[in-house]
Amino acid sequence: MLKRTAKRSGWGAGAALAALLALPGCGLLGGGPPAAAVSPAESARIRGEVEARLAAEPSIGPGRVRAEVDGATVALHGAVDGFGALQCAIANAGLVRGVDNVVDKMVLRPGPRTVRCLAPRPPAAAAPAPEA
């Protein structure tokens, strides 16, 4: 009886993985570009605008979600009721000038799948003044 053996190529799995990870710009291990430097005043502005937008949302409300700013990335912490409110919070944070990435660190509680979200509204400073 003949015994067959598999012929191995010169590249092992470890060498192939090392070659892939050595490629420039590989995001597999966080090799993307570093976070953009943002001044403390800009971080405070972004956090304030995100939290104000979230507080004005009927499905979220004031004080339920807080924002943490790191460069152009905003992480949302807190709890929301339903997937609709979670999507609304992420949409609101992403609309603030200077935000490039939104990270969801919220707790999702049972609630409605869809909500009426006011996200695509302009910021309060850009809204036209009512005529008298």
Least confident window among 28-32, 37-41, 47-51, 104-108: 28-32
Look at the pTM and tell me if it is higher than 0.85.
no
Q: Of 43, 108, 105, nearest to 70 (Cα)?
A: 43
CA angle, corner 121, sides to 100 and 127, nearest 5?
110
Least confident window among 77-86, 89-98, 102-111, 115-124: 115-124
Question: In the chain, what percentage of residues exceed pLDDT 70?
Answer: 64
As its CATH architecture, domain 36-115 has 2-Layer Sandwich (3.30)
- pLDDT level of residue 38 (50, 70, 90 thresholds): confident
Q: Does pLDDT of 11 surpass 90?
A: no
The dihedral built from the CA positions of residue 82, 117, 69 and 72, taken in this order, carries a sign that is positive
User: Cβ–Cβ contacts within 10 Å for residue 34, how many?
Assistant: 7
